[in-house]
Amino acid sequence: MTLIVMSVALGAFVATMTGGLLSLKLGAKLPLVMGFSAGAVIGVAFFDLAPEALDAGKGLYEPRILLAIAALGFFFYTLLDRLVAHHDCEGEVNPARGLVGAMSFSAHSVMDGFAMGIAFQASREIGLIVAAAVLAHDFADGLNTVNVVMKNGGTRSFALRWLAVDALAPVAGAGLSLLLVPNPNLLAVLLALFCGFFLHIGANGLLPERTHPRASTTVATLLGAAFLYAVTALAR
């Protein structure tokens, strides 16, 4: 089982790196990529993290408690974003905001790998379903990590470093899952918090600004959300 888990985790590494490197090559088409990424991130929150949090919390927390925790995550991230950006002027960018976003994506990727490893410990069938979802949206994670850094004034080399961190994160999470017995109480809370984080990142940090109100960016956002919905629906 260890070989299977780590092999899939390496696949997630490749998917993340591929998505991020592709994003760096698109240049002028970045608003379209950001639109797709925003839809994908919001899709991850609604279609992946929220259902997983509710499933993990069955018998432990009422749904409204987990939704309240998700809201706490959203507003905590809002506060953190405001503290990071409090010196910003209109139209300026803030690399620190990109750093916070990249760190959040990487932390979520650790959870991806951890959840995948735990799923394989439950059964090979469940593990393969979760692995399919992780591999599919880790490609979008690579896009998202690079986009949130570059959008906020980060350099190409800085984006590449965080892309590498994000790509290695599911490998680390998968390795950790082989060493620890999961605590369902904590897992449900963390998933709910990340749901709130990703709603804020997608809606406030990645949606194309009003300088790009083209129909194409709106379509890209809807396609990103639809893609994640399809992935999670097929994986369940």
| The predicted structure's pLDDT at residue 84 | 58
3-state helix, strand, coil in the chain (%, to 5): 85, 0, 15
| The predicted structure's pLDDT at residue 200 | 85
Instruction: Give the mean model confidence (pLDDT) for residues 212-234.
Output: 83
The answer on pLDDT for 131 being more than 50 is yes
Spatial CA neighbour of 168 closest among 16, 41, 22, 49:
16
Distance CA 167, CA 117 (A): 16
Instruction: Give the mean model confidence (pLDDT) for residues 69-82.
Output: 87
Instruction: Give the mean model confidence (pLDDT) for residues 119-139.
Output: 75
The answer on pLDDT for 123 being more than 80 is no
Domain boundaries, the chain: 2-235
Determine the angle formed by the axes of helices 124-151 and 215-235, rounding to 10 degrees.
Answer: 160
| pLDDT digit string, tens, across residues 160-212 | 999 999 999 999 999 998 887 767 788 888 889 888 988 987 887 666 554 45
What percent of the chain clears pLDDT 90, i.e. is strictly above it?
A: 23
| The predicted structure's pLDDT at residue 218 | 85
Spatial CA neighbour of 151 closest among 13, 17, 19, 23:
23
Residue with tokens 């997630």: 12
Stated pTM of the model: 0.69
